[in-house]
C-alpha cells in the first residue's frame, strides 16, 4: 500500500494489544481509519502476516498477526480541561 496521508487533520490514534504483553502500543498515524483497516485485513489474510504501521514521525511498528490481541482505531481527540460541561 502506498501510505497516502489523510486529509492532514488530526492524527489517528491506534492502540495495539499484543498477547503476553501487559502494555498496549499507542501509535499516532496520518492514515485514515479505512487505510488502517485495509492494512490489518491484508496482514490477517497473509499466511505469516505482519501488521505494519508508520507513525507521524516516520517510525514503523511491526507486529506479527499471531501476536495481535486487539487493534483499537480512533481519532486522537483533544480532551477538555477543567470542570466544564460534559
CA–CA gap between residue 83 and residue 75 (Å, rounded): 23
Is 7 a domain residue?
no
Is 39 a domain residue?
no
Is 4 a domain residue?
no
Is 5 a domain residue?
no
Domain total in the chain: 1
The answer to whether the predicted template modeling score (pTM) of the entire model surpasses 0.95 is no
The pLDDT-based confidence of 10 (bands split at 50, 70, 90) is confident
Is 58 a domain residue?
yes
Residues 42-86: pLDDT tens digits?
999 999 999 999 999 999 999 999 999 999 998 655 555 566 555
Is 84 a domain residue?
no
Is 6 a domain residue?
no
Amino acid at each position: 500500500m502506498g501510505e497516502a496521508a489523510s486529509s492532514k487533520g488530526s492524527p489517528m490514534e491506534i492502540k495495539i494489544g499484543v498477547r503476553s504483553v501487559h502494555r498496549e502500543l499507542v501509535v499516532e498515524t496520518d492514515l485514515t481509519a479505512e487505510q488502517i483497516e485495509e492494512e490489518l485485513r491484508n496482514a490477517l489474510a497473509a499466511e505469516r502476516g505482519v501488521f505494519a504501521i508508520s507513525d507521524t514521525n516516520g517510525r514503523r511498528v511491526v507486529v506479527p498477526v499471531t501476536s495481535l490481541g486487539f487493534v483499537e482505531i480512533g481519532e486522537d481527540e483533544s480532551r477538555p480541561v477543567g470542570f466544564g460541561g460534559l
